[in-house]
């Protein structure tokens, strides 16, 4: 028997045609979905902005915080130095109050 007279070979040819049609329609759908995703991505992507970048802004904030940290350290040092200049009774009372405050927090 040759392949042209076999009934199954005739079905295979029509199945190949329907499979090809299905693949073409799925390919078209995938292209359409890809185009929609591209449009959606463009819609939700913010436009480029002028001005400092996020990294630059973060570095500026960190620099400002460091500067404030130095100021606070100086204030703390001066506050602690007050105890040296005060009479012993007042200095002990201040230290006691500070310890009590630290214990409560």
Domain range annotation of the chain: 1-45, 49-105
Q: How far apart, in Å, do the first and last CA atoms of the chain sit? A: 96
pLDDT per position as a tens digit, 24-57: 999 999 999 999 999 988 888 877 777 888 888 9
| Higher-scoring residue by pLDDT: 86, 7 | 86
> Using 50, 70 and 90 to split pLDDT, how confident is the model at 3?
very low
Q: What is the pLDDT of residues 53-92, one digit of tens each?
A: 888 899 999 998 888 888 888 888 877 776 666 777 887 8
- Separation CA 52–CA 83 (nearest Å): 46
**What was the pLDDT predicted at 30?**
94
Q: How far is CA 50 from CA 42, 43, 47, 57, in A?
A: 19, 19, 10, 13
Mean pLDDT, residues 11-33: 86
């Amino acid at each position: 028997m040759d392949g042209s007279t076999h009934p199954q070979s005739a079905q295979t040819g029509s199945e190949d045609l329907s499979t090809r049609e299905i693949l073409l329609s799925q390919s078209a759908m995938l292209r359409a979905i890809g185009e929609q995703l591209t449009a959606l991505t463009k819609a939700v992507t913010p436009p480029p902005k002028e001005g400092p970048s996020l990294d630059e802004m973060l570095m500026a904030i960190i620099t400002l915080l460091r500067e404030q940290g130095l100021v606070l350290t100086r204030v703390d040092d001066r506050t602690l130095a007050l105890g040296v200049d005060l009479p012993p009774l007042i200095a002990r009372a201040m230290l006691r109050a500070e310890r009590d405050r630290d214990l409560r927090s």
